[in-house]
Chains A and B, each alone.
Chain A
Amino acid sequence: MINLKIDNIPVSVPEGTTILEAAKSIGIKIPTLCYMKEINEIGACRVCVVEVKGARSLVAACVYPVNENMEVFTNTPAVRQARKTTIELILSNHNKSCLSCERNMNCELQALSYEYNCDCTAYPGALTPSEVDESTDYLVRDNSKCVLCRRCVATCKAIQHVAVIGTRNRGFLTDIGCAFEEDLASSSCAACGQCINVCPVGALKEKREIDKVRAAIQDKSKTVIVGTAPAVRAALGEEFGYPIGTNVEGQMVSALRLLGFDKVFDVNFTADLTILEESTEFIHRVQKGENLPLITSCSPGWIRFMEYYYPELIPNISTCKSPQQMFGAMVKTYYAEKMGIDPKDLYVVTIMPCVAKKFEKNREDQNASGYPDVDAVLTTRELAKMIKGNGILFNELANGEYDAPLGEYSGAGVIFGATGGVMEAALRTAVETITGKTLENVEFTEVRGTEGIKEATYTVGDLTVNVAVASGLENARALCEQIKNGTCKYQFIEIMGCPGGCVNGGGQPIQPAYVRRNTDVRALRASVLYNIDANSKVRKSHENAFIKKLYDEYLGEPASHKAHKILHTTYVKRNKY
C-alpha cells in the first residue's frame, strides 16, 4: 500500500493507483474529459490537472500514479485557474449552440463550463474548419462540437475492434474522421453507435427520424403502428430522472398512446417468434450436422460487422430476420390481412435501443408485404425527446397496457435485451422441443451476466450442446477467429454487437463517463429485464398463446414455407473500402 495525502487527508491505496482513483476513494471527483479507464488513458485534455508538492508543473491525475508520501492538492487556485483556462480554450473552438443541441443538459463540457464559471468568449478566434458527416442512415458526426477527447476513436478500436475512425491532420487542424477524408458511409463501420454513447458532447448523434414519424401520425391515410424493443423500457426512465434500472414499461405505453400512435405493440412478441424459428433452425442444423455453429442474427451491428470482416461465416448465421424486422413483417402481412388494411396504408415505427436498426430497416430483402417491413426507427433517446417535445408529463402517467394481439410476450422474449438473453430463451424452447419434457428450471444462469464471452455446456437428451455468448465486437471477433481456425467447440453462439447487449445499445440514454465508470449501467438495466421475466406467468416463447395461435392461423409451423418467406432473410459480403 502507498500512503499519501490528498488535500491534507491521509490516503492509503494499492501501488499503481492513479491520483484520480485515489481521490475518488476519499470522495473527491477530479473532473475529466478524455479519460476512459483502460480504454483511453492519454492525459490529453488536461482538465484533470492537480498540484503535486515538489513537481515542476501541474500533473494529469488520470494517468499519474501515486507515490509514497506524495502530497496532492486538487482544488488550489492555480489548479482551478488552469482547468478553467483549458475549458475556456476548448469553448473558444466550439460551436456553442447549446440551446438546441442534442446534449443540452446532458453534456460533460457544458457541465464543466458551469462548474468552473467559464467565460465562453474569453478567447475569441478562428474555428477549426469542419463539415457535418451525414452520409449514413444512422449516425451524424458534427466535428464543430468535437472536443478531440478521442473517446470515440478508442471505443471503436479497443472495444469494438472496428477502428474506422481516427485523428486526422495536426495541431489546430486536427479532427476525427475516417482515413483518406472519406465519409463514414464509405467505411466499414458496424453501425453499433457505441461511439455516440461515449462522446462527452453533442458531436455524435443518431440520424433523426422524429420528423418523419410526426408527419406519419398526422397523415390521415396512415395507420401508424409502434413497437417497442425489450431494452427500451429498462432505460427510458433515465431521461426522466428515474434511477438507472427502473422499469417504465407502463408509462412508456401510455406516452406512446398520447403521442398519437394508432396501436402500441411490443417487439417482444416477435422475439418469441424469433425463438421458435431459430430454435427450429438449430434443431434442423444439428440433425443434419451442417452449418454449425449456428450464430444468432438479431443484432444488426453484429451482422454488419460480420458482412465486412467475416463474410465466410454467412452460412453459419441464422437466416431469421431480427425481431424488429419480423415485427414489421407480421404487422404488414398477418395484421394487415386480419384487419383488412392495405399494407401500403400501414406505417410501422419501432422504438429501439439501437442505431444499427436504422440501417437494418433499409436493407434489401426486408419487405415481406412488398412494402418495407419497418418505415421508421426511433432510438430510446429520440422517443424521450418526442415525449418531452409533446409536453407529455411522463412522470405523472399511469401505466398503460399494450394493445392486443401483437403485444403479448413471454419472459423469454423480454430478456432478448441483455447479453445471453437470446441464448437462454432459445435454450428454453430447444430443450423442451428436443426432450419433449417440461423444464424444471428455466433459468440458464451460466449465460447471464455482463462478461464479454460466456460459455456453457448442456446435456439435452442424448445431445451435448456447447454454447457461447459474446457481446461487443472485440469478443465477437475472438469467437469468429476460433471458427475460422477450427478451434471452435460450440454448436450455438449468440452474438450482440454492443457490450452487454441492447441494454447498452448505441441508442440508449447517455450516461456521463463518470457514471459509467462507477456504476454497472448494463447490469442495472439488465436486471429490469430479468425481473420482468422472473415475474412472468409465461416464461417460454413456445408457450406464448398468441404465438401458438399465429402459427395455427397463419404461418403453419416454424420454418414452414410461409414462415420462410415472411420471417427469414439473406446476407451479403461487403467490401472494406
Chain B
Amino acid sequence: MVDIAKFFLEFTVDESCGKCTPCRLGNKRLLELLTKVTEGTATMEDLDTMEKLCYYIKENSLCGLGQTAPNPVLSTLRYFREEYEAHVKDKVCPAHVCKKLVRFEIDKDKCIGCGICARQCPASAIERTDYVAAGHKLASMAINQEKCVKCGACVGACKFHAIDKA
C-alpha cells in the first residue's frame, strides 16, 4: 500500500503545474517523507507531519490536481496505518516491495557452499563463511548486507532454495 500511494504521488508531483505553493512544494515534501518511509528512515513524527501536510494541501491548493493529490496517501495512512508503522518501527515492508527494506539472506544450513550465487552477484556481496553445516563438505556462503544491492539475482541462482527475502 505504501508503494501504491507513492506511485500515485510521484505522478502528481510530476504533473503539478508549479503555480501554487501547496501543490508545488507540499506534494514534493510529502513525497520525500513517503520516500523516507519506504527506505526505513522515517520516524513516527514524520507520519504525523505527513497527515497534516495531506490536509493542508487539500485545503490550500489552487486547483483540483493539488486538492486531490494527497488522497492516496491520506486513505492508506488511515486504513493501513499498521503497514506504515511496520516500515517505521520494525524497518520491514510487509509487502516485500520496498527495496531498501528487503533483505536477502542465505539459510546457512541449506547452503551447500557451491558458490554459484557468488558468481551471479553483481555486487560481489556474497562471501564464504567458516561455518560448515552438518552433512556438508564446504563452508556455507553469506550475504554482506552492506554490499548487497538487493537485485535478487542470487535467489534464482541457488538450486537448493537456500536464499530468500527475509
A381 to chain B, nearest CB (A): 28
A228 to chain B, nearest CB (A): 41
Closest 10 A/B residue pairs (Cβ): A174-B18, A171-B16, A89-B25, A172-B28, A123-B29, A125-B32, A57-B59, A44-B20, A44-B19, A171-B18
Instruction: Considering the complex, give the chain B residue whose CB is closest to the CB of A91.
Output: B25
* Mask: chain A, 39-50; 1 = CB below 8 Å from B; 0 = not: 000111111010
Using a CB–CB distance below 8 Å, which chain A residues touch chain B?
42-47, 49, 57-58, 60, 81-82, 85-86, 89-90, 92-93, 123, 125-126, 148, 167, 169-174
Tell me which residues across on chain A come within 8 A of B18, comparing CB atoms: 148, 167, 169-174
| In-complex Cβ contact of A172 among B13, B53, B56 (8 A) | B13
Q: Is the CB of B62 within 8 A of A43?
A: yes
| In-complex Cβ contact of B56 among A82, A125, A170 (8 A) | A82
Tell me which residues across on chain B come within 8 A of A60, comparing CB atoms: 62
A85 to B23, CA, bound (A): 12
Tell me which residues across on chain A come within 8 A of B67, comparing CB atoms: 57
| In-complex Cβ contact of A125 among B15, B28, B60, B62 (8 A) | B28
Tell me which residues across on chain B come within 8 A of A49, comparing CB atoms: 60
Instruction: Considering the complex, give the chain A residue whose CB is closest to the CB of B20.
Output: A44
Tell me which residues across on chain A come within 8 A of B29, comparing CB atoms: 89, 92, 123, 125
Complex interface residues of chain B between 97 and 145 (CB less than 8 A to chain A): none
Tell me which residues across on chain B come within 8 A of A43, comparing CB atoms: 20, 62
Instruction: Considering the complex, give the chain B residue whose CB is closest to the CB of A93.
Output: B25
Instruction: Considering the complex, give the chain B residue whose CB is closest to the CB of A126.
Output: B32
A82 to B32, CA, bound (A): 20
B70 at the interface (CB under 8 A from A): no
Q: Is the CB of B62 within 8 A of A44?
A: yes
Q: Is the CB of A89 within 8 A of B26?
A: yes
B21 at the interface (CB under 8 A from A): yes
Name the prevailing secondary structure of the B interface residues: helix
Tell me which residues across on chain A come within 8 A of B17, comparing CB atoms: 170-171, 174
A90 to B28, CA, bound (A): 12
* Mask: chain B, 50-79; 1 = CB below 8 Å from A; 0 = not: 001100101111100001000000000000
Given contacts A42-B19, A92-B25, contact A86 B60 (CB under 8 A): yes
Q: Is the CB of B21 within 8 A of A89?
A: yes
B121 to chain A, nearest CB (A): 32
A9 to B28, CA, bound (A): 39
B24 at the interface (CB under 8 A from A): yes
A174 to B15, CA, bound (A): 12
Q: Is the CB of B32 within 8 A of A58?
A: no
Interface centre among A81, A89, A170 (most CB of B within 10 A): A89
| In-complex Cβ contact of B24 among A123, A125, A126, A172 (8 A) | A172
A50 to chain B, nearest CB (A): 12
Q: Is the CB of A86 within 8 A of B21?
A: yes
B14 at the interface (CB under 8 A from A): yes
A172 to B25, CA, bound (A): 7
Instruction: Considering the complex, give the chain A residue whose CB is closest to the CB of B23.
Output: A171
B32 to chain A, nearest CB (A): 5
Given contact pairs A46-B20, A46-B22, A125-B29, enumerate 19 new A-B contacts (beta carbons under 8 Å): A43-B20, A44-B20, A44-B62, A45-B21, A46-B61, A47-B21, A58-B60, A82-B60, A85-B52, A85-B56, A89-B26, A89-B29, A125-B32, A148-B18, A170-B17, A171-B16, A171-B18, A174-B17, A174-B24
